[in-house]
Structure 1
Amino acid sequence: MPNPSFIDNTYFYYLRVFYEDTDAGGVVYHANYLKFYERARSEMMNTLGVRQQDLLAENFAFIVKSFSVDNIQAARFNSELVVKTRIKTLKKASIIFEQWIECDEQLINRAEVLVATINLAEMKPLRIPDYIYEELLRVC
């Protein structure tokens, strides 16, 4: 499988469906798509040099505020998937991500994720630090 990378402001994250990802029917259990999307967003941030563990030490976190998902067709055990992620909207304290999953260039699933930024100590909204905002702006 290829390494994760950006192509035209879209981040490509590759994975294989493991047996543990499937339900009794041998297809990906619906909640696991959320895990796949989370992994892709996290790896995208890592690729941009944004280390979430460092942010946690500063009481800063990205949280999922809302999530909409549309299942198009089923992915199956041992399928090779690509999770594509791009920033739809970047604001000072939130990001809307467009994400979709393909198998053999066929759309499997798509989602829109609103991620907000908060101060963990106070659980209140917090602006995205400038250095992170600038990195995100580069790939919008």
Structure 2
Amino acid sequence: MQNQFTYLLRIHIEDTDFAGVVYHSNYLKFMERARSEWAEQVGLGMTWQREHQIYFPVHAAHILFLKPARVHDKVEVVTSIKAVRPASLVYEQYLRLAHEPDKMLCKAEIKIACVDLDMRPRAIPYAPFLEMIRRELT
């Protein structure tokens, strides 16, 4: 993985409206799945978060819908970290058709906060976090 993670999924009928077009809020679900899968793969998933008594909820999302995804499409969610701040991460994510990687369907910037168990902002535990990130990006 060279500073990005690609997550493949198929659009199911449950993801769409009556016309077979992906319902807008489901793009955020797809992006969440990709970030969660990436975190698990690099060792920063729920087990690691529990050990450090932190969580990473979404703080803000800016999303642009460019073209619709449709039922039975195979799409890829491409995820990369744009910025690491003391108590947050900023991800860039986009969806594209798997068979047409130049055809972007949706793009977003997602800010993730680092919070403690009481949902108060907390600094990211940098040493273990950066160790995991460095290992993954090399």
Does TM, normalized by the shorter one, top 0.5? Answer: yes
Residue number among 50, 69, 92 corresponding to 2:63 in the alignment: 69
**2:107 pairs with 1:110:** yes
> TM-score normalized by structure 2?
0.89
TM-score (norm 1): 0.88
Aligned amino acid, residue 49 of structure 1? G
Q: 1:78 aligns with which of 72, 82, 94?
A: 72
Bigger Cα displacement from structure 2, 61-70 vs 50-59? 50-59
| Offset at residue 58 of structure 1 (A) | 4.8
Matched positions, count:
133
Local SS of the residue matching 1:31 = helix
Runs of 5+ in structure 1 lacking a partner? 1-5
Alignment of 1:33-52 (within 5 A): 33-52=27-46
Structure 2 CA distance for aligned equivalents of residues 111 and 60 of structure 1? 24
Larger helix fraction of residues: 2
Return the offset for 1:133.
Answer: 2.9
Q: Look up the SS of the partner of 2:106 in the other structure.
A: strand
Segment drifting more, 87-96 vs 48-57:
48-57
**1:22-37 matched pairs, under 5 angstroms:** 22-37=16-31
Which residue type is aligned with residue 133 of structure 1?
Answer: L
- What is the one-letter code of the residue matched to 2:120? K
Give the unaligned 5+ runs of structure 2: none
* SS state at 2:22 partner: coil
**Cα RMSD for the two superposed structures:** 1.7
Identity of aligned residues (%): 35
